[in-house]
Structure 1
């Protein structure tokens, strides 16, 4: 079969690879859609969990077409999404129920072949039913599960006032996830006018130009301030938008060497809570249910459904203005 293959750091191409066969405890999924994530670029360039050669793609939805020995509870024909994490199950973090912090973490699309191919073999325990969700919507379940894990770590509650930096697909998922948890008052911040307009159309209380935003213009502050940009300079400003006693969630992926400067005294005196959130954590089913509740709003999160050759091109020259989620669509 043809697949997108990362052969080594910086080397990506569409080429022939062997069709997967299910080992014991595995199923083979015929891919219906796989989303492109910035983490795919980090893997390609050796900046994140990776092992070459590997077929990337960890935001996967499709149909189970083959079962390995010993698989129960999953049938061929099942429409599923895939949890990409492969924790060891034995380290301290795994034993504490925190697989995203596994000391020996592996993952589909990173160290094991993923979903930028017509078929992928995964552990049966890693697939979760999607009901009648379209595949391109169900492929949003993995990034949305990451978002929901961050929201749950931040202990959000109905009636809170939230500020989200970044109105791209992840920022909009953050807004929708917060709304699903009862946080109706969400203000979005972005540099792009088209993204700000879309955020308001999709339910943001307000959308502000990041070049003009000042704390004094946004009332008495926010109960939750979230970064979905991965820009250290944005992270450094977040405490100034927080109310006393607020929570600050670092969700965007800053470069490992980036640094953000803020006052430890301010964190201490104002009793601010700083939270980090990394990945999914047993919550794919929760994300699927949130997606079902979003209805057609979820469709707006996907802007491009492309064949493999175009996905390979995206790894070299990612789209920018106006782009939302880009996905591999085998039917494209």
Structure 2
């Protein structure tokens, strides 16, 4: 099969022929119809995760089962499926109580074994981890759920437990951040989106963000598509997968006073803040944007590249803030989210900015941390 292969940390990925996988005990093989590229894939390429080389990345996927191990009872060849990026073992106490996302012996496609930047992928513990994809949900939308969308959904609905009317500040308007904006609005939250990319903020506004904050006043702007207002606001445009052009106005900040801007807009700070990027600065901005007794959810990965990141714990203690993590979502929790998608209350397909092939994916992965995106990047392995 054709796959994107990495031979060493930070090596240039290549598309080449490799052996097709076989179904592991209790598992299946899925023909990949769509798979997403996100910052977590870049972290693995950059050496921030322990992976064995040569390696095939990719952890957000959807497709059709083409092989089933004899131990699998719930699935058959031809079933349309997706899977959380964290696959539980199905046997431990956490899996038995519906918390497979923290399984101590979890498997993760694209990290613990070869992933979905390929024509086929093997998946473990199928009866525990697979999720049926309804006919009315296309494969690209289903693939977008596996990491960013499901993580954002659980962060707000399961961890922070957002209720109607609460302010939610989302730092970072990439794929997971835009997912968080959409879900927060569906739950009745009032959203502030923060990013350095004007086009991403325009998408956030189109998804329901009430306010947007541009973190870098020197951000590059296309004068033909961007109209400066009164020096304090700008207008940005973005085109979503639905073909419609969206415009939004946002406050321009100097990138150092996000918490003060949020406090001013909300009358004292957000009830909930989400770091959807994963850096010392974005984590601090999110936490310091909270009001007293607020809840922070960390979604963006914080690898200890330069030592463990500093967190403003004095504020956490003095204001009695809650710090929460969100590490994906177990398959047993998918039905509630999938029902909202079928009803049209959530539309993850709107977050897809572009679809590329394997060759373009191999070129993009090493620079994905610097790529200017205003939505999700999906890969179709059938493309060149």
Give the alignment's TM-score, normalised by structure 1: 0.89
Structure 2 counterpart of 1:314: 364
Q: 1:248 to 1:287 in 2, by over 3 A?
A: same
Q: Which residue of 2 aligns with 1:331?
A: 382
Q: From the superposition, tell whether residues 86 and 80 of structure 1 become closer, same or farther in structure 2 (CA, over 3 Å).
A: closer
- Tell me if structure 2 keeps the 8 A contact 1:146–1:281: no
1:60 alignment partner, SS class: strand
Supply the distance in 1 between the matched residues of 2:151 and 2:198 (Cα, whole angstroms). 26
Match of 1:219 in 2: 266
Q: Distance in 1 between matches of 2:286 and 2:123?
A: 39
Change (3 A) 1:102 1:308: same
Q: 1:262 aligns to what?
A: 312
Say whether the 8 Å CA contact 1:138–1:288 is kept in structure 2. Answer: no
Measured against aligned partners, the alpha-carbon deviations of 1:125-148 in whole angstroms (never above 9, x if no partner) come to: 222111021111111111211112
Q: CA deviation at 1:92?
A: 7.0
Q: CA deviation at 1:226?
A: 1.2
1:188 aligns with 2:189: no
Secondary structure class of the residue paired with 2:7: strand
Deviation (angstroms), 1:296 = 8.5
Give the distance between the partners of 1:295 and 1:79, measured in 2 at CA: 22
State the 1:88 CA deviation.
Answer: 4.5
Residue correspondence of structure 1 range 148-159 to structure 2 within 5 A? 148-151=153-156, 152-159=158-165
Q: Residue 130 of structure 1 aligns with which residue?
A: 133
What is the deviation of 1:224?
0.7
Specify whether residues 71 and 189 from structure 1 end up closer, same or farther in structure 2 by C-alpha distance, changes over 3 A only. Answer: same
Cα distance, 1:38–1:219 mapped onto 2, change above 3 Å: closer
TM superposition shift of 1:322? 3.6
Q: Secondary structure at the match of 1:327?
A: strand
Distance 1:175 1:293, change over 3 A: farther
**Length-normalised TM-score, structure 2:** 0.78
Shift of residue 67, structure 1, vs aligned partner: 2.0
- Which residue is 2:113 aligned to? 112
Residue 74 of structure 1 deviates from its aligned partner by: 1.4
Shift of 1:235: 1.9
Counterpart CA distance in 1 for 2:319 and 2:62 is 44
- In structure 2, the CA distance between the partners of 1:197 and 1:274, relative to structure 1 (3 Å rule), is same
> For structure 2, which runs of at least 5 residues remain unmatched after alignment?
217-252
Per-residue CA deviation, residues 280-311 of structure 1 (Å, 9 max, x unaligned), is: 33434444334334478423311221111111
Q: Are the structure 2 counterparts of residues 23 and 104 from structure 1 closer, same or farther at C-alpha, using a change threshold of 3 Å? A: closer
In the superposition, relative to structure 1, how do residues 292 and 69 fare at CA in structure 2: closer, same or farther (>3 Å)? Answer: same
Q: Distance in 1 between matches of 2:169 and 2:46?
A: 32
Distance 1:113 1:129 in 2: 22
In the alignment, which residue of structure 1 is the partner of 2:354?
A: 304
Matches within 5 A, 1:267-278: 267-278=316-327
Cα distance in 2 for partners of 1:291, 1:52 equals: 37
Question: Distance in 2 between the 1:270 and 1:95 partners?
Answer: 36
